[in-house]
Amino acid sequence: DAKTTQPTSMDCAEGRAANLPCNHSTISGNEYVYWYRQIHSQGPQYIIHGLKNNETNEMASLIITEDRKSSTLILPHATLRDTAVYYCIVGDYKLSFGAGTTVTVRA
Amino acid sequence: NAGVTQTPKFQVLKTGQSMTLQCAQDMNHEYMSWYRQDPGMGLRLIHYSVGAGITDQGEVPNGYNVSRSTTEDFPLRLLSAAPSQTSVYFCASSPYGGADTQYFGPGTRLTVL
């Protein structure tokens, strides 16, 4: 499975956009990029996924570079409830979660 | 729909004891999986199943057994509990794997003394 690299932590101001980077330089052609988040000690929650094209849903946008070696998750208007650990995952159905990025949204 | 349910929520075992963590889903999902999460760490895949009667090992399968006799249920058995198995266990299900989302249960917090 391809591995990902994410910053350990980042802060974001409430109401501002949060841009979460992820590097996945060894991704193979049929592997998707998934983003999940885990709030406190709950089960992870799906956010968005994509293969090549940029994607947007009601929660976030996913920007994947043309060479597919990196991506950025964008939370357009961060709220305090978006404070969580965000996981960038590359693979098929055998998802492998790394340590993720701890995002703290501050008032 | 109840989604993915896990029982028990909390469990304390002594070293050497065995037990089964239960996982059930009512969404008719084919794919189910078990993860463990150690403190401050991400989730690691223990075992997974792509359908009834089919199971396979994930990243950290040692010390655990699974079976999938029905689409709905995917129990995880600890054969002889060890302190290293102290963790939070999450079960997840997905319609048919691939690019589909996975729905996670609330987790079982297991302590092995």
- Tell me: pLDDT of B2 over 90: no
Put simply, whether B108 touches A (Cβ < 8 Å) is no
Put simply, whether B95 touches A (Cβ < 8 Å) is no
- Tell me: pLDDT of A2 over 70: no
Chain A positions in Cβ-Cβ contact with residue B90 (cut-off 8 Å): 43-44
pLDDT reported for residue B17: 97
Put simply, whether B103 touches A (Cβ < 8 Å) is yes
- Torsion B54-B6-B21-B92 (CA) sign: positive
Q: B88: Cβ–Cβ under 8 A, 6 or more apart, which residues?
A: A41, B36, B37, B38, B107, B108, B109, B110
Mean pLDDT of A52-63: 94
Residues in chain A: 107
pLDDT reported for residue B35: 94
| Better-scored residue on pLDDT, B101 or B102 | B102
Condensed to tens digits (0 to 9), the pLDDT of residues B25-78 reads 999 999 999 999 998 888 899 999 999 999 999 999 999 999 999 999 999 999
Q: Do B97 and A96 touch (CB under 8 A)?
A: no
pLDDT reported for residue A50: 92
Nearest-Cα distance to chain A for B81, in Å, is 23
Percent share of chain A, pLDDT over 70:
95
- Tell me: pLDDT of B99 over 70: no
* Token digits of residue A8: 């350990």
pLDDT reported for residue A93: 66
Chain B positions in Cβ-Cβ contact with residue A99 (cut-off 8 Å): 40-42
Residue with tokens 């463990």: B36
* Token digits of residue A73: 């998750």
Q: Do B45 and A41 touch (CB under 8 A)?
A: no
Rounded-to-5 percentages of helix, strand, coil across chain B: 5, 50, 45
Strand partners, A87: A36
pLDDT reported for residue B111: 97
Out of B4, B45, B101, the one facing A46 most closely (by C-beta) is B101
Out of B42, B45, B101, the one facing A87 most closely (by C-beta) is B42
